[in-house]
Amino acid sequence: MVNIGDLRASYERISNYLVETPILSSGNLNKKFEANIFLKNEVDQLTGSFKIRGALSALSHLKSHGVEGVVAFSSGNHAQGVSKAAQIFDMKAIIVMPKDAPKNKIEKTKGNGAEIVLYERHVQSREEIAEQIAKDKDYPLVRPFDNQQIIAGQGSFGLEACEFFLANDIKPDIVLSCTSGGGLVAGTSIAFKHYFPDTEIYPVEPLTCNDTQISLENKTRTEIKNHIPTICDALEVEIPGKLTFPINLQNCKKGLAVSDKEVCQAMKYLYEEFNVKSEPSGCVSLAAILSNKIDVREKNVLVTISGGNVDADSFDKYIDSA
Site for its own copies, rule CB under 8 A? 16, 19-25, 27-28, 31, 41, 43-44, 46, 48, 84, 87, 108, 111-112, 168, 271-272, 274-277, 308-309, 312, 316, 319
Please report how close the Cβ of residue 28 comes to its own copies at its closest, in angstroms: 6
Minimum CB distance to its own copies smaller for 42 or for 260: 42
Measured from the CB of residue 277, what is the shortest distance to its own copies in angstroms?
5
CA 305 – CA 47 distance, rounded (Å): 14
Pair 279, 149: CB distance under 8 Å: no
Beta carbon nearer to its own copies, 51 or 293 = 51
DSSP secondary structure code for residue 301 in this structure: E
Asked whether 38 and 164 are in contact (CB, 8 A), the reply is yes
Shortest Å distance, C-beta 129 to its own copies = 26
d(CA 240, CA 181) in angstroms, rounded, equals 5
Give the separation between CA 69 and CA 86, rounded to whole angstroms: 8
Question: What three-state secondary structure class fits 271?
Answer: helix
- Least separation in angstroms between residue 43's CB and its own copies is 5
Q: What is the separation of C-alpha 4 from the centre of its chain, rounded to a whole number of angstroms?
A: 19
Min. distance of Cβ 5 from its own copies in angstroms?
Answer: 24
Q: Give catalytic residue positions.
A: 51, 75
Q: Which is nearer to its own copies, 46 or 294 (CB)?
A: 46
The full DSSP string for 148-170 is HHHHHHHHHHHHHHHHHHHHTT-
- CB nearer to its own copies: give 18 or 243: 18
Least Å from the CB of residue 290 to its own copies: 17
What is the C-alpha separation between 254 and 200, in angstroms, rounded?
A: 9
In whole angstroms, what is the distance from residue 306 CA to residue 25 CA? 16
CA 185 – CA 178 distance, rounded (Å): 7
> Please, which residue, 113 or 140, has the CB nearer to its own copies?
113
Residue 106, φ and ψ in degrees, nearest 5: -65, -45
Nearer to its own copies, 7 or 46 (CB): 46
Task: Compute the residue count for the chain.
Answer: 322
Partner residues linked to 174 by β-bridges: 200, 301
Min CB(147)–its own copies separation in Å? 24
- Choice between 123 and 312, CB closer to its own copies: 312
DSSP letter for each residue of 164-221? HHHHTT----EEEEE-SSSHHHHHHHHHHHHH-TT-EEEEEEEGGG-HHHHHHHHTS-
